[in-house]
Structure 1
Amino acid sequence: MKFTRGSDTGLWLLTTSVSYLALFSILVSIPELALAQPNEDDIACLHGFQSMAKSSDPALFNNWTDTAFPCNTTQDGQRATFVGITCSSSRVVSLFLSDKGLTGMISPNLSLCRNLGILDLSQNSLTGTLPSELGMLSYLMTLNVSHNQISGPIPPEIANCSYLHELDLEHNRFSGEVSTALATLQKLQILDVSHNDLVGPIPTGLSNTSDGRPRFNASSFEGNPRLYGFPLPYPKSRTLSILAIVGIGLGSGFLSLIVSFTAVCVWLRVTEQRLAAEEGKISQLVPEYD
């Protein structure tokens, strides 16, 4: 069969249209395929968190099962929903479980949610330490675990979260010194480590900017009795201690002066009486001449 030029053009258009339609169908199906395949790291992240944290609300973790995942569609085409979890491009990007009656500890498996940008576990009763593995969250912008019972040091590895904008650790039981590594967080705009048991000096990079302006105010550090340095005010207890030392020194000096003066007076009096007695003896020995 021969085709005219017009026929050739029509066939080419038809073939091209079919090809584009097939390609479009494949491209459209790719997100669905992605949704059908749960991200193993994110699953391990959430299941690890669930295994170490409990909630007073029994419904919170009810659907956290192996067959349900918040970033993927289920068999009926509906997306599973987990309270406090937000997804984007089939990855977990936000975990917001503030004031959910959580107890237990924070799982280091949270570091497997590589795309996590917000981690807010504030206003709960979590214990244990803050996992250093959280420093592996390259996209983390908000880390808020305030108002819990978390203890131990503040992991210096948190400084690896270069996009961190907010770090709120207030009202916990953090101890040890504030790592100077935290001062390298250039995007950090909100910092609160108040009301813990931190000790030692406040790193210069957290108290001042490179041009000498205050970076964070005193409220970011208050409530740590053994933490000192700008911008915290000079401790009154130290002022009182210095005044006490000066007072003791002056008092001791004055007391020593009184004792010395009294001793000298007594010595002079005794010496005077002795001389008078000796003069009396001498006068008795000297004969009287008429």
Structure 2
Amino acid sequence: MMCGVWSSTGTVILVLLLITTCGNIPSKADPNDEICLSQLSESLQDPFKNLQNWTKTAFANPCQGFTSFLQGATCNNGRIYKLSLSNLSLKGSISPNISSCTNLQALDLSSNSLSGPIPPDLQYLVNLAVLNLSSNRLSGPLPQQLALCAYLNVIDLRDNRLSGLIPPQLGLLTRLSVFDVSYNKLSGPIPSSLGNRSGNLPRFNASSYEGNKDLYGFPLPPMRSKGLSVLSIVGIGLGSGLVSLVLSFTAVCVWLKISEHKMAAEESKISQFMPDY
């Protein structure tokens, strides 16, 4: 009887040990995440060594289930789920190969000194919900390919050097609740699909677009007509004065000419009545 009890107890303990051991086996790293992290690391400059643990060894196995020991990285079921590298004084550019982190749902590289374009390859981050690249030095166009990231809730690109038109395709993002492109160098009309949204779609006010001097349309206030410069005013004044002077001088000349003819005519009449001596 005792042997049966011990046998049952031993079996239970053995099963528990097996479950615990299997649960601690590290999940196999996704090779795409390794490519993504390696290429992003190469494109970034880290002058203050804030990313010291971003090494090739760590990239080979960046996630232990839901845990990551990489600075700014969050994992979900063995895959990179979120990258938050804001305010780390990072320089360099955003590698197009960041698109290899195909499970990425949030990318925050804000408040750094990143330059160059926003990679159109971000379109392959089909699960991306949050994109925050604000307060950098990014330049070039706003890629229309972002419209393919159908789950985007947040696009924050304020305080950069982006130029060109706002792609109307971004208005197709029905989940978009935050859209901020203020203080860039964007130009042209604000697409109605983003400026005058209808139905249950979230609306964006003027603060989302301010600071782009060549951008216009609702919800921005009407553009004011530019006043005349000081030089223009001076030029108009001088021109008007010169015209007035010429007209006045011409009038005087005409008056003198007419007076001269009148005087000559009067002298001729008087001479006819003078006696000959």
Q: TM-score range by the shorter chain?
A: 0.7 to 0.9
Alignment deviations for residues 40-92 of structure 1 (CA, whole Å, 9 cap, x no partner): 1111111111111122332524253235523237xxxx965111111112111
| Aligned partner of 1:113 among 95, 101, 104 | 101
Q: Which amino acid aligns with 1:57?
A: F
Partner Cα separation in structure 2 for residue 231 and residue 95 of structure 1: 33
5+ long unaligned stretches in structure 2: 1-10
Deviation at 1:211, TM superposition (A): 5.5
Question: Structure 1 residue 99 and structure 2 residue 87: aligned?
Answer: yes
- How does 1:4-153 map onto structure 2 within 5 Å? 29=22, 35-66=26-57, 68-72=60-64, 80-153=68-141
Contact 1:56 1:100 in 2 (8 A): no
- How does 1:235-250 map onto structure 2 within 5 Å? 235-236=223-224, 238-240=225-227
TM-score by length of 1: 0.76
Q: Which amino acid aligns with 2:91?
A: T
Partner Cα separation in structure 1 for residue 259 and residue 267 of structure 2: 12
Contact 1:170 1:193 in 2 (8 A): yes
**1:10 aligned residue:** none
Question: Structure 1 residue 170 and structure 2 residue 169: aligned?
Answer: no
After the TM superposition, which of the residue ranges 275-284 and 206-215 deviates more from structure 2? Answer: 206-215
Partner Cα separation in structure 2 for residue 227 and residue 155 of structure 1: 17
SS at match of 2:187: strand
Contact 2:108 2:133 in 1 (8 A): yes
Partner Cα separation in structure 1 for residue 241 and residue 221 of structure 2: 33
Q: Which amino acid aligns with 1:173?
A: R
TM-score by length of 2: 0.79
Alignment deviations for residues 242-282 of structure 1 (CA, whole Å, 9 cap, x no partner): 9x999x99997898688657644642442133222222123
Alignment deviations for residues 156-214 of structure 1 (CA, whole Å, 9 cap, x no partner): 11111111111111111111111111222221111111111111111122111136999
Partner Cα separation in structure 2 for residue 217 and residue 36 of structure 1: 46
Partner Cα separation in structure 2 for residue 235 and residue 58 of structure 1: 46
Quick one: percent identity of the two aligned structures?
Answer: 36
Contact 1:69 1:80 in 2 (8 A): no
SS at match of 2:155: strand
C-alpha distance 255-207 of structure 1, shift in aligned 2 (>3 A):
farther
SS at match of 1:199: strand
Partner Cα separation in structure 1 for residue 106 and residue 73 of structure 2: 10
C-alpha distance 206-241 of structure 1, shift in aligned 2 (>3 A):
farther
Question: Structure 1 residue 267 and structure 2 residue 275: aligned?
Answer: no
Contact 1:117 1:140 in 2 (8 A): yes
Length, aligned pairs only? 259
5+ long unaligned stretches in structure 1: 1-17
C-alpha distance 193-59 of structure 1, shift in aligned 2 (>3 A):
closer
Partner Cα separation in structure 2 for residue 214 and residue 94 of structure 1: 25
Q: Which amino acid aligns with 1:149?
A: R
After the TM superposition, which of the residue ranges 119-128 and 57-66 deviates more from structure 2? Answer: 57-66
